Amino acid sequence: AVSHPSAAGRVFNVTDGGFHTLNEIIESICSALGRKPPRLSLPVGPIRIVAGLVETGCRVMGIMGGIVGTRSQFLRKLGHIPTIPGHVPIIPPVTTEMIDKYTEDIAVDGSLIQKELGFIPQYDLKAGWEETIRAMRACGAL
Protein backbone atom coordinates (compact mmCIF):
# COMPACT_ATOMS: atom_id res chain seq x y z
CA ALA A 1 0.00 0.00 0.00
CA VAL A 2 2.91 2.37 0.72
CA SER A 3 4.16 2.22 -2.87
CA HIS A 4 0.69 2.65 -4.39
CA PRO A 5 0.58 5.80 -6.60
CA SER A 6 -2.58 7.03 -4.85
CA ALA A 7 -0.82 6.93 -1.45
CA ALA A 8 1.65 9.75 -2.17
CA GLY A 9 1.24 12.64 0.24
CA ARG A 10 -1.79 11.14 1.96
CA VAL A 11 -2.41 9.89 5.47
CA PHE A 12 -4.38 6.72 6.14
CA ASN A 13 -5.48 4.98 9.31
CA VAL A 14 -4.16 1.42 9.33
CA THR A 15 -6.15 -0.97 11.49
CA ASP A 16 -6.85 -4.66 11.78
CA GLY A 17 -10.54 -3.83 11.50
CA GLY A 18 -11.20 -4.09 15.23
CA PHE A 19 -11.68 -1.49 17.92
CA HIS A 20 -9.12 -1.57 20.72
CA THR A 21 -8.95 0.23 24.03
CA LEU A 22 -5.81 2.09 25.05
CA ASN A 23 -5.19 -0.61 27.66
CA GLU A 24 -5.37 -3.34 24.99
CA ILE A 25 -2.85 -1.44 22.86
CA ILE A 26 -0.48 -0.93 25.81
CA GLU A 27 -0.80 -4.61 26.78
CA SER A 28 0.02 -5.68 23.20
CA ILE A 29 3.09 -3.42 23.05
CA CYS A 30 4.33 -4.59 26.46
CA SER A 31 3.76 -8.23 25.54
CA ALA A 32 5.76 -7.79 22.32
CA LEU A 33 8.57 -6.21 24.36
CA GLY A 34 8.44 -9.08 26.86
CA ARG A 35 7.42 -6.77 29.68
CA LYS A 36 4.48 -6.55 32.03
CA PRO A 37 2.08 -3.66 31.42
CA PRO A 38 2.23 -0.87 33.99
CA ARG A 39 -0.38 -1.24 36.69
CA LEU A 40 -0.09 2.26 38.14
CA SER A 41 -3.36 4.11 37.77
CA LEU A 42 -3.39 7.80 38.56
CA PRO A 43 -6.51 9.94 39.02
CA VAL A 44 -6.71 12.15 35.93
CA GLY A 45 -8.72 14.97 37.54
CA PRO A 46 -6.23 15.94 40.28
CA ILE A 47 -3.25 15.54 37.92
CA ARG A 48 -4.93 17.80 35.36
CA ILE A 49 -5.55 20.43 38.07
CA VAL A 50 -1.89 20.37 39.15
CA ALA A 51 -0.69 20.60 35.53
CA GLY A 52 -3.01 23.57 34.99
CA LEU A 53 -1.66 25.31 38.08
CA VAL A 54 1.94 24.81 36.90
CA GLU A 55 1.07 26.18 33.44
CA THR A 56 -0.70 29.20 34.94
CA GLY A 57 2.17 29.88 37.32
CA CYS A 58 4.69 29.78 34.47
CA ARG A 59 2.59 32.13 32.35
CA VAL A 60 2.08 34.59 35.23
CA MET A 61 5.82 34.62 35.89
CA GLY A 62 6.43 35.25 32.19
CA ILE A 63 8.63 32.22 31.71
CA MET A 64 6.44 30.21 29.39
CA GLY A 65 4.38 30.97 26.31
CA GLY A 66 1.52 29.02 24.78
CA ILE A 67 1.23 25.34 25.51
CA VAL A 68 1.00 22.85 22.69
CA GLY A 69 -0.08 19.24 22.69
CA THR A 70 3.15 17.30 22.97
CA ARG A 71 6.53 17.82 24.57
CA SER A 72 8.34 17.70 21.20
CA GLN A 73 6.04 20.39 19.80
CA PHE A 74 6.61 22.40 22.95
CA LEU A 75 10.38 22.14 22.56
CA ARG A 76 10.17 23.28 18.92
CA LYS A 77 8.36 26.40 20.03
CA LEU A 78 10.97 27.38 22.62
CA GLY A 79 12.22 30.20 20.42
CA HIS A 80 8.87 31.97 20.84
CA ILE A 81 8.68 31.77 24.63
CA PRO A 82 9.25 35.04 26.50
CA THR A 83 11.82 34.54 29.25
CA ILE A 84 13.16 36.47 32.20
CA PRO A 85 16.79 37.46 31.43
CA GLY A 86 19.16 34.93 32.96
CA HIS A 87 16.44 32.32 33.48
CA VAL A 88 15.91 29.12 31.53
CA PRO A 89 12.32 28.66 30.33
CA ILE A 90 10.39 26.08 32.33
CA ILE A 91 9.12 23.17 30.29
CA PRO A 92 6.42 21.32 32.18
CA PRO A 93 6.83 17.53 31.85
CA VAL A 94 3.05 17.23 31.58
CA THR A 95 0.53 19.76 30.29
CA THR A 96 -3.25 19.78 30.40
CA GLU A 97 -3.33 19.37 26.63
CA MET A 98 -1.10 16.29 26.88
CA ILE A 99 -3.38 14.82 29.54
CA ASP A 100 -6.43 15.50 27.37
CA LYS A 101 -4.75 13.95 24.32
CA TYR A 102 -3.65 10.76 26.06
CA THR A 103 -6.91 10.17 27.91
CA GLU A 104 -9.36 10.89 25.09
CA ASP A 105 -11.46 8.10 23.66
CA ILE A 106 -11.10 7.83 19.90
CA ALA A 107 -11.82 5.21 17.29
CA VAL A 108 -10.28 5.22 13.84
CA ASP A 109 -11.68 3.76 10.65
CA GLY A 110 -9.29 1.91 8.36
CA SER A 111 -11.73 1.39 5.49
CA LEU A 112 -10.30 4.19 3.30
CA ILE A 113 -6.90 2.51 2.88
CA GLN A 114 -8.67 -0.77 2.12
CA LYS A 115 -11.01 0.81 -0.42
CA GLU A 116 -8.56 3.13 -2.19
CA LEU A 117 -5.31 1.17 -1.99
CA GLY A 118 -6.57 -2.39 -1.67
CA PHE A 119 -4.83 -2.81 1.70
CA ILE A 120 -5.75 -6.02 3.51
CA PRO A 121 -4.59 -6.31 7.13
CA GLN A 122 -2.29 -9.29 7.63
CA TYR A 123 -1.93 -8.96 11.40
CA ASP A 124 -4.21 -8.51 14.35
CA LEU A 125 -3.21 -6.04 17.08
CA LYS A 126 -1.02 -8.44 19.08
CA ALA A 127 0.73 -10.02 16.09
CA GLY A 128 1.22 -6.59 14.50
CA TRP A 129 3.07 -5.26 17.53
CA GLU A 130 5.12 -8.47 17.80
CA GLU A 131 6.24 -8.08 14.16
CA THR A 132 6.88 -4.34 14.61
CA ILE A 133 9.08 -4.89 17.68
CA ARG A 134 10.91 -7.77 15.95
CA ALA A 135 11.65 -5.55 12.92
CA MET A 136 12.75 -2.64 15.11
CA ARG A 137 15.15 -4.90 17.00
CA ALA A 138 16.48 -6.37 13.76
CA CYS A 139 17.40 -2.94 12.39
CA GLY A 140 18.81 -1.69 15.70
CA ALA A 141 16.01 0.77 16.43
CA LEU A 142 15.41 -1.02 19.77
Q: What is the pLDDT along the chain (142 residues), one digit of tens a residue?
A: 778 888 999 999 999 988 888 889 999 999 999 999 988 888 999 999 999 998 888 777 766 654 444 554 555 555 544 455 555 566 677 888 888 888 888 888 999 999 999 999 999 999 999 999 999 999 999 9
Looking at the fold, whether 111 and 91 belong to one and the same domain comes out as no
Total number of domains constituting the chain: 2
Looking at the fold, whether 113 and 65 belong to one and the same domain comes out as no
- The pLDDT, as a whole number, for residue 90 is 63
Q: How far apart are CA 138 and CA 117, in angstroms?
A: 28
- The pLDDT, as a whole number, for residue 73 is 55
Largest CA distance in the chain: 57
- The pLDDT, as a whole number, for residue 86 is 59
Looking at the fold, whether 98 and 119 belong to one and the same domain comes out as no
Long-range contacts from 50-57, C-beta under 8 angstroms, 24+ separation: 51/92, 51/94, 51/95, 51/96, 51/98, 51/99, 52/96, 54/92, 55/92, 55/95, 55/96
- The pLDDT, as a whole number, for residue 121 is 93
Q: Which domain holds residue 56?
A: 44-103
Looking at the fold, whether 89 and 124 belong to one and the same domain comes out as no
- The pLDDT, as a whole number, for residue 37 is 92
Q: Is residue 112 part of a domain?
A: yes
